[in-house]
Structure 1
Amino acid sequence: MKKTRMIGWLLLLIMSLVLIAPSMTFASSKVYHVPIEGEVEKGLQAFLQRAFNEALKNNAEAIVLEIHTPGGFTDAADEIAKLMDQARSKLKVIAFINTKAHSAGAFLALHADEIYMMPSATIGAAGIIDSAGNAAEEKAQSAWIAQMKAAAESSGRKPIYAEAMANKNIDMEKYRAPVGKFLTLSAEEAKEVKYSNGTVHNMQEVLEHAGLANSEVIDLNPMIAEKIVRIITNPVVVPILLSIASLGLVLELYSPGFGVPGIMGLSSLGLFFFGHTIAGFAGYETIILFVVGLALLIAELFIPGGIIGIIGGALMIISLLFAGANFVHMAYSILIAMFIAVIGMVIIMKFFGKKLHVFNKLVLKDATTTEEGYVSNVNRIELIGKIGTALTPLRPAGVISVGAERIDAVSEGSYIDVEKKVEVIKVEGSRIVVREYKEKAGE
């Protein structure tokens, strides 16, 4: 009886498993879902570095980059593309374009193993422009076009369309891009030229098309610190931060005690180094170098000479150059900040010159004028019109005698021989000017 009951329970358990099993799915792998939003810049690179490292560490089968970007900076895109290429040997890299992948975004999408697009999404418009919004120089354009073609070739796609995205001299009239326009493909057009592996409506459809429907999806988003870093390290924000810092410190030098300008300046510098350190661009050695430079600059207020201040300023500039993501861009940012600081100093000295505080110790205001009692030498104006004798030839300098006094003098320009009579015609400080004296008739 007992044995029969146990057999019954066992059969019931088996039947339950048979009924439930078809509706059960088991996650066979991990897929990381990572957003690429906004401008492509160095801060995004730091976030994606963490994302790829985590995906590889946890043996993920794929990483899906959900792209929504108008483009960005080519140097940052190039570094991110290197991350993608290195990861492709160990996991599948998928680009999911939910709205647009333009310019640097298109470049990144082309480095993926597979591309999926929303019905309204577009890819292309990858012409390179400079910071002023104008077409970049021919050398930079040529290099970028080559990079776009190489990106397409690296993932087995026809390079002609990638080239047309960056080179408006390619005729793609079939896709509304005749000569003079950059190519931009819709989802269906991208699928037609095999730049898209399928048109999808959501992330789940991406996984189904990629054969990853039963995978565990891990959503990885930027942390608050990484979001702040993306703002701080943006090439547009960097010169603004440095300008605020320089202007704040200059204002603080004019103010008694330590107040709002100083706090504003140091906070801007703190944000700069915080963002660039988290992003991996600046090390602690650059911060130490900057602090040493700042200390020397402050010491200049109490130790006369100027050399200490110059060394301190140089150390601060060097530390900022090496803390930035791009050496050339940092140089421009520093120049902008210095220019704004100089303008600030000029304005302050013009309108608040009499109320200066610390700069009163740095700027020499005394003038060595006769009104102040300063006399550099005796001005012998009483000698004008006097007649003397040349004791030495004047070529044009020499020595003359006026009465019993020997005087150094110079001729008006012509040679005057020894023993000739001379007349003092001009006195300029210690400079006595004479000419040969011609005796008048009757003298």
Structure 2
Amino acid sequence: MTKIFRRMLLFVLFASVVMIPFMETAAKTTKVYKVPIENVVEKGLYAFLQRSFTEAENAGAKAIYLDINTPGGYVDAAGQIAKLMDESKLEIIAYINDDALSAGAFLALHADKIYMSTRGRIGAAAVIDSAGNAAEEKADSAWLAAMKGAAESSGREVKYAVAMADKSMDLPEYGAGVGKLLTLTSKDAFEVGYSEGTIATFSELLKETGYENAEVITTSETFTESIARFITNPVVVPILLSIAGLGLVLELYSPGFGVPGTMAISALVLFFYGHLVAGLAGYEAIILFVIGIGFIVAEFFLPGGIAGTIGSLAVVGSIIMAGGNPMQMAISVLIAVAIAVTGMVIIMKFFGKKLHLLNKVVLMDSTDTESGYVSNVNRVELVGRIATTSTPLRPAGAIELDGERIDVVSEGSYIDKGKSVIIVKVEGSRTVVRESDKKGENE
């Protein structure tokens, strides 16, 4: 019996030694992803997060930690990201490292759990338009409903989410009196149930959430994603389109193909590249753009202007399609057109005569007397000469001077045939005479 017991004990010890490395390996195969949400929330960020979420799911990760530090951003992009979070099967834990303001607060409320650093803040979620002003009532109402829904989806007290977006809410105990949006500190957020706790470091957060032994995979934006985030920023888009418009205008007025044309093409290529990488533009938008350019080129060879009009509409349509938000892109296009037209007017006014193609497109020379243009030869040398009427002047008629017959008019009075007259004024084809008592004299 003792021998059997010894053998069993040796077997257990051997099995334990053999299995320990495998147990450690199994523990380390638990993966979690750390995904940063930084800077402005826009559609380029959505593309990065979509890639990160897909990568985490394919790798069999157990949770995604969103490391949040953002001043907010755009409502449409925040809505897409929130939907992505809601549809994910993984546990999503928001860690507000510094600020989760505006759209950042909205995203944090869509997480399964929220933790904050000691300096963390969440709130101040009013809707602001592109000019920096408060949004119209319709957009503001929709955003309030979205904030309320975000709080409800995570089982949190709704009034605090509403106070973050509505200045009329009165919560003076948290610094949000009437006329001021609610922003919660880490202490306040924990007190009202908008945070599960205040954690100083990420390693402590892993321990708090039960993943201290997990493999942490941190995702970061690729270079192309960083470029796409910059290009798809709603502030940058109208600037790019304006550069393209001005470049095309300058290229029309310049000989050959040079810097302005290169500038315009580069701006358009960047625009479509950024929106394609961000997942906003499909190949159909690019195809429509190429077709539009083809029609515009055909306009140089076809009469009527129809091809040019179709091409211009196709280009504008492709740009609007590429943006994801038709209204926002339409505004950007209008801004770009206004800037291009203004640039054209300035060029025509101050530099028109010095530019190559302008004189072929627009008649720049004015046919005035100061520029040397007259409908008839202005014979000012006749003024003061004495002539004889060859017909009566009633008041129009004719005179004879040095054997030349000249059509004239009197100053208004009747002058008989054969009278001496003096030429007092010459205005183009109009020669004015007055009766004179001088006979056959020339002055």
Q: TM-score if structure 1 supplies the norm length?
A: 0.77
1:177 corresponds in structure 2 to 176
Whether contact under 8 Å (1:301, 1:362) holds in the other structure is no
Matches within 5 A, 1:58-137: 58-87=59-88, 90-137=89-136
Q: Does 1:357 align with 2:351?
A: no
> Does the residue aligned with 1:213 lie in a helix, a strand or coil?
coil
Cα 1:20–1:254, aligned 2, differ >3 Å: closer, same or farther?
A: closer
Matches within 5 A, 1:333-352: 333-352=332-351
Whether contact under 8 Å (2:124, 2:182) holds in the other structure is yes
Distance, in Å, in 2 between the alignment partners of 1:189 and 1:355 is 67
Q: Does 1:30 align with 2:31?
A: yes
> Does the residue aligned with 2:234 lie in a helix, a strand or coil?
coil
> Larger deviation: 307-316 or 360-369?
360-369
2:55 corresponds in structure 1 to 54
Amino acid at match of 1:111: H
Matches within 5 A, 1:213-292: 213-292=212-291
Distance, in Å, in 1 between the alignment partners of 2:233 and 2:322 is 14
Distance, in Å, in 1 between the alignment partners of 2:20 and 2:300 is 85
> Larger deviation: 31-40 or 284-293?
284-293
Cα 1:19–1:257, aligned 2, differ >3 Å: closer, same or farther?
A: closer
2:148 corresponds in structure 1 to 149
Extract unaligned runs of 5+ from structure 2: 1-9, 377-393, 397-443
Whether contact under 8 Å (2:352, 2:358) holds in the other structure is no
> Does the residue aligned with 2:156 lie in a helix, a strand or coil?
coil
Matches within 5 A, 1:350-429: 350-363=349-362, 371=374
> C-alpha displacement at 1:145, in angstroms?
1.1
2:439 corresponds in structure 1 to none
Distance, in Å, in 1 between the alignment partners of 2:274 and 2:366 is 47
1:192 corresponds in structure 2 to 191
Whether contact under 8 Å (1:99, 1:122) holds in the other structure is yes
CA deviations over 1:164-209 (Å, ceiling 9, x no partner)? 1111211111111112211111111111111111111121112111
> C-alpha displacement at 1:19, in angstroms?
10
The number of residues matched between the two structures is 371
1:44 corresponds in structure 2 to 45
Distance, in Å, in 1 between the alignment partners of 2:298 and 2:20 is 82
Cα 1:214–1:15, aligned 2, differ >3 Å: closer, same or farther?
A: closer
> Does the residue aligned with 2:268 lie in a helix, a strand or coil?
helix
> Does the residue aligned with 1:105 lie in a helix, a strand or coil?
helix
> C-alpha displacement at 1:86, in angstroms?
0.4
Amino acid at match of 2:40: E
CA deviations over 1:342-393 (Å, ceiling 9, x no partner)? 11111111122223323433335689999569xxxxxxxxxx999xxxxxxx
> C-alpha displacement at 1:135, in angstroms?
1.5
Amino acid at match of 2:338: F
Distance, in Å, in 2 between the alignment partners of 1:316 and 1:218 is 42
> C-alpha displacement at 1:304, in angstroms?
3.2
Distance, in Å, in 2 between the alignment partners of 1:365 and 1:283 is 43
> C-alpha displacement at 1:139, in angstroms?
1.8
> C-alpha displacement at 1:18, in angstroms?
10
Cα 1:19–1:81, aligned 2, differ >3 Å: closer, same or farther?
A: closer
Whether contact under 8 Å (1:32, 1:218) holds in the other structure is yes
CA deviations over 1:58-79 (Å, ceiling 9, x no partner)? 2211111100000000111011
Q: Please tell me the root mean square deviation across aligned C-alpha atoms, in Å.
A: 2.9
Distance, in Å, in 2 between the alignment partners of 1:15 and 1:111 is 44
Distance, in Å, in 2 between the alignment partners of 1:22 and 1:285 is 52
> C-alpha displacement at 1:21, in angstroms?
10
> Does the residue aligned with 1:100 lie in a helix, a strand or coil?
strand
2:160 corresponds in structure 1 to 161
> Does the residue aligned with 2:35 lie in a helix, a strand or coil?
strand
Cα 1:289–1:21, aligned 2, differ >3 Å: closer, same or farther?
A: closer
Cα 1:327–1:20, aligned 2, differ >3 Å: closer, same or farther?
A: closer
1:314 corresponds in structure 2 to 313
Cα 1:297–1:332, aligned 2, differ >3 Å: closer, same or farther?
A: same
> Does the residue aligned with 1:264 lie in a helix, a strand or coil?
helix
2:297 corresponds in structure 1 to 298
Distance, in Å, in 2 between the alignment partners of 1:326 and 1:11 is 66
Amino acid at match of 2:331: Y
Whether contact under 8 Å (2:242, 2:340) holds in the other structure is yes
Cα 1:361–1:116, aligned 2, differ >3 Å: closer, same or farther?
A: same
Distance, in Å, in 1 between the alignment partners of 2:244 and 2:139 is 33
Percent sequence identity over matched residues?
58
Amino acid at match of 1:241: L
CA deviations over 1:227-272 (Å, ceiling 9, x no partner)? 0000000000000000001101110111111111111110000000
> C-alpha displacement at 1:296, in angstroms?
2.0
1:332 corresponds in structure 2 to 331
Cα 1:367–1:189, aligned 2, differ >3 Å: closer, same or farther?
A: closer
Extract unaligned runs of 5+ from structure 1: 1-8, 374-383, 387-443
Whether contact under 8 Å (1:231, 1:237) holds in the other structure is yes
> C-alpha displacement at 1:11, in angstroms?
11
1:423 corresponds in structure 2 to none
Amino acid at match of 1:78: G
> Does the residue aligned with 2:176 lie in a helix, a strand or coil?
coil
Amino acid at match of 1:328: M
Distance, in Å, in 2 between the alignment partners of 1:137 and 1:263 is 40
1:424 corresponds in structure 2 to none
Whether contact under 8 Å (1:198, 1:209) holds in the other structure is no
CA deviations over 1:102-148 (Å, ceiling 9, x no partner)? 00000000000000100111101111122222221222111111111
Distance, in Å, in 2 between the alignment partners of 1:135 and 1:109 is 22
Amino acid at match of 2:287: I
Distance, in Å, in 2 between the alignment partners of 1:263 and 1:53 is 38
Cα 1:365–1:157, aligned 2, differ >3 Å: closer, same or farther?
A: same
Q: TM-score if structure 2 supplies the norm length?
A: 0.77
CA deviations over 1:394-430 (Å, ceiling 9, x no partner)? xxxxxxxxxxxxxxxxxxxxxxxxxxxxxxxxxxxxx
Whether contact under 8 Å (2:353, 2:359) holds in the other structure is no
